[in-house]
Amino acid sequence: MAKPKKAAKQAAKAAKRADIEQTHRATTRPDGPVAQIAGKASELADQPPLIAISAATILLGAAMRRPAVLRSGVRMLASHLLATGVKSVLKASIDRTRPARAVKEGHRIERGSGAGDTSMNSFPSGHTAGAVAVAQAVATESTAAGLPLQVAALGVAAMQPVRGKHYMSDVLAGAAIGWVAERVAHAGLRVGEAGLKAGIARFRE
């Protein structure tokens, strides 16, 4: 019994070491023009742009009387807000040095102190969480429409270690948060939609 536990601990340590080393290598590598442009484009996955895009989708769906577009917008917004809430709680609970700072001062991960130092907010990746949540929300309504956004979300995730913002493990955690947030939001909206339809049907009786 002790051997499997020891092997698991050794594997975990090796994975952690590889995560840090590979991310630091990506962070210190000089950025070419493509990486610089991609890095700036990835800022579209920040909270204000994603909220604006979601709200615009809702308004567009309502104005065009397109229920599918309206549902997508509502799902996008709900998924993003839920993902943002979860990542905010985790960021406040866990202090982890961002790679850009860690390559100069060393890597640290510890219990969160609630401080406002954003250079200690590496875990998890909020940009990845938001991008995945919104992309999956659109894909749930339309696979074809969601595919480009899923590819874009993958690009956003890939840029985080390169920009020195997040470790690869932070990115994976963010992606998981975004995916789960969309699934929870989707289930909640389905229940709400069913309840609304039932209420309207009873009102018409």
Tokens 């961002």 correspond to what residue? 98
What is the total count of domains within the chain? 1
Q: What is the CATH number of the domain that holds 194?
A: 1.20.144
Yes or no: say if 130 and 178 are a contact pair by the CB < 8 Å rule: yes
Residue 61 belongs to domain spanning: 2-204
Q: What is the pLDDT of residues 106-157, one digit of tens each?
A: 999 999 876 678 899 999 999 999 999 999 999 999 999 999 999 999 999 9
Q: Looking at the predicted structure, is the pLDDT value of residue 1 above 70?
A: no
Q: What is the pLDDT of residues 47-82, one digit of tens each?
A: 999 999 999 999 999 999 999 999 999 999 999 999
Yes or no: say if 162 and 35 are a contact pair by the CB < 8 Å rule: yes
Cα–Cα distance for residue pair 55/52, rounded to 1 Å: 5
Cα–Cα distance for residue pair 122/43, rounded to 1 Å: 16
Yes or no: say if 134 and 76 are a contact pair by the CB < 8 Å rule: yes
